[in-house]
Each structure stands twice: as C-alpha cells, then as structure tokens.
Amino acid sequence: MINIMKGTKDLLPQESYKWDFIEREIKEVARLFNLHKISTPTFEHTELFLRGVGDTTDIVNKEMYTFEDKGGRSVTLKPEGTAGVVRSYIENGLSQLPQPLKMYYETPVFRYERPQAGRLREHHQFGVEIYGADTPQQDVEVMMIARTLFHRLGVPAPELHINSIGCPTCRKAYNEALKAYFAAKQEELCPTCRERLEKNALRILDCKEEKCAAIAAGAPSVLDYLCEDCSKHHEGVKDLLEKAGIPYKVDDKIVRGLDYYTKTVFEFVVENIGAKSTVCGGGRYNNLVEQMGGKPCPAVGFGMGIERLVLTMQSVGASFGEVPSPDLFIANIGAADAAFLLTMQLREHGVNAECDTMARSLKAQMKLSDKLGAKYTVVLGETEIKDGSVKVKKMADGTEETVKINDLAKYFIEKKD
C-alpha cells in the first residue's frame, strides 16, 4: 500500500461540492469587481522566486520545492502566486491593457513546512492582483474584494488588521533602528534570526519562535519611521476605511512573510480554526515589477487559502449550498438498456438523470436512489415502455404523476424554470 505524502490531502467526492460552491462565489465576486482570470505554470525558473520573493524569507530559505530538471535547469514548484503573475505581466506586455489591470487566480502552491490547520505542503490559493494604481482607494478596494467574498460565503466579517511597512527610503532608517534594538538582545534570538539581523532585520518580526516573538513585541514601531509620502498614504487608507464603515485595527507588527511588500500590508483574522488565525493576507508591492525587469508599476493584491477558507466556513456553520443530487433516478425492471438510453436522452436535454449500471434488483436500485438523494424516481419496465408513460414519484412527499416518456425532458425543464 502506497499512502499519501505528508502535508497533502485528497479532495474526496463527498467534499468536492464545497470547493465548487466557493469557486462559484469567487467567480461572482470577480464579476462584481471586474477581475479577469490569469493562470501561470505550476513550476518556474528558481531565479524568479529568489528575485521576487526574497532570499531572506523563510519561503526561499526553508520551504521551496526546488529540483534540477533533465536539462540541468533549476526549477521550483510555485510557493506563492504573485511572482509568476508579475513575470507574465512583463513577458506578455500586459501593461498595454487598460490600467489598472485587475486579475485573479486560483492555483496550487507548494511549501515544505510543518503542516497545520488549513495549511498543507500542497494547498490552494485564491489570489487577487491589481496593477497600475497607487492610491488608497485601490488598497481599500482590494480589501473589500476579500470582505465581499467572506460575506457571500456566510463568514462573519473577519477582523481586518492593517499596517504600513513604508518604502525603501524610509525603511532604511527603520531597519537601522531594528538592528540596534535586536543587536542588544542578539544572544536571545534563534539562530535564523541572528542571521536575519545582518541581512534583513525586518524579517525578525515575522519569526514564529516564541522567544523571538516576545522580543519583537518590544521593537520600535515602523509607523514612527514612515516618510511623508508613506505616512500620507497610510492615513488615506485609514480615512477611507472609516468612510466606508469598515472596522479595522492598526497592527504595527504585521510585515507579511515576503520581501516584496511596500507601504500597505493587511490581514483578515479569525479566532477559531486552530493553529493559525489569518485567513487572508496581502498588501502593496510597488517595486516588484521593476525589480523583476519591467517598467515601474505599482501593484497591490492578496492571497487566500481555499483549505483554510473551508475550515473557516465549517467552524462558523456557514452553508455550502445544496449537496448535488440527481433530478431523476430511473429504476428498471428487466429494461436496463431502455433505462440507460432514456437517461442519456434526458441528459442531452440538460436533465440531471441517473440509472443503475450494475444489474441491481429493484429494491437495491431504490436504495441507491435514496442514497443519491434523487428528487424524483420512475420505474421503467415492459408495461411502461408499451404504454409510453411512467409514474414520476416526488420523493419529498411521495406524490405521483403520470407523464409520457417522450415528455419527460420537457416535464423536468419546466420544473427547473
């Protein structure tokens, strides 16, 4: 027996309708906000993530699935969605399209990390990427996209936490302040954070080690080091959130786990799904397009884990819609071929019909119909074929109605209408 690999999970038939429901709502939110779908490959050149994600991040240092292909090239399974979208934006000349360019994706991502609630080594993300606009309005619209999806999925609005981590200009002074603060406590830091102290002190704020997190709690606030432009942008975001009536909390320790963020960063947080409480995170990355070889272009977006979203919905008792079931189950007595052909004919007319293909007894067929949750059943035998009509039984209340076999498709289409 070969078992599933650690940190991965099968999506089983009895659970897939939940994902289908979420994906339908994602598409509707995309329609409301004029987002267009973009898909990028599951694997890219490793250099893309080294340059895009940042070589001081845990993702690059500890979590990437990297291998050498048969051509000797270093290849990495995508650990996040943004770097690939930026590459595509530049490579395909998407800056020529009307700006801001508003995109979304649904993609698997791969990270070699300790599996936790809703975060697996292979998990799936819904992400939003908006390129071209550098205004507080665009930041808030991105937050409202996530908030709208939560509302449509029946999740009471998670708590919105925001911060600004400034731009390279003002962050230089902040990094110096962090270095001075953490240097005095260097011996108490974990080995990884001692390395970060020299390379990128900001990353220490993102450490998950308890002792490092406790030290980081007393670190200087980035908000005290923002330049005039970054401070004005941050105040604009807060002002617009208040005008829109969206509650928020300023958390000056949010830095997110990726080096490319600038100015606004944010998270949506819930308290009841286990190991981690962040169900959505994102922010602004104004320098990433240029850093990856394109012309300067502001950008903002977020990522949201589908597995974690399912857990969140389950934890609050949200509905995943109706469990899919056949409109009609056609049982048969000695007329298996006729039942099969009628089933196929009904499907061609858009009716969700089902029949037995395992030569069951009539009693066993009716049990199957019940297990499948069929809304209606008919029994087809020689008598019904000869008469050209069947009795359609409504399973909810047991009522029956005689319908011509040739009119069955019309009968069920009218019921849907």
Q: Does a structural domain hold residue 216? A: no
Domain boundary, last residue among 292, 315, 338: 315
89 and 158 co-located in one domain:
yes
232 and 306 co-located in one domain:
yes
Q: Does a structural domain hold residue 218? A: no
354 and 381 co-located in one domain:
yes
Phi, psi of 378 (to 5 degrees): -135, 155
Q: Does a structural domain hold residue 180? A: no
* Distance of alpha carbon 126 from alpha carbon 124, whole angstroms: 7
DSSP state of 35: -
339 and 275 co-located in one domain:
no
Q: Does a structural domain hold residue 92? A: yes
* Distance of alpha carbon 276 from alpha carbon 68, whole angstroms: 33
Say how many domains are in the chain: 2
289 and 376 co-located in one domain:
no
404 and 333 co-located in one domain:
yes
Q: Which domain holds residue 405?
A: 328-410
| pLDDT by residue, tens only, the chain of 417 residues | 999 999 999 999 999 999 999 999 999 999 999 999 999 999 999 999 998 887 667 788 789 999 999 999 999 999 999 999 999 999 999 999 999 999 999 999 999 988 777 679 999 999 999 999 999 999 999 999 999 999 999 998 799 999 999 998 998 898 889 899 999 988 889 988 888 888 888 888 878 788 898 998 899 999 999 999 999 999 999 999 999 999 999 999 888 766 788 999 999 998 765 544 789 999 999 999 999 999 999 999 999 999 999 999 999 899 999 999 999 999 999 999 999 999 999 999 999 999 999 999 999 999 999 999 999 999 999 999 999 999 999 999 999 999 999 999 999 999 887
CATH number at residue 336: 3.40.50.800
pTM of the complete model: 0.91
Q: Is 54 left (phi over 0), alpha (psi -120 to 50) or beta?
A: left
238 and 374 co-located in one domain:
no
309 and 348 co-located in one domain:
no
386 and 364 co-located in one domain:
yes
CATH number at residue 48: 3.30.930.10
102 and 24 co-located in one domain:
yes
Q: Does a structural domain hold residue 201? A: no
Domain boundary, last residue among 315, 343, 370: 315
348 and 391 co-located in one domain:
yes
Per-residue model confidence as pLDDT tens digits over 227-261: 999 999 999 999 999 999 999 999 998 887 667 88
Q: Does a structural domain hold residue 405? A: yes
CA neighbor of 362 nearest in space, from 340, 380, 337, 344: 380
Q: Does a structural domain hold residue 195? A: no
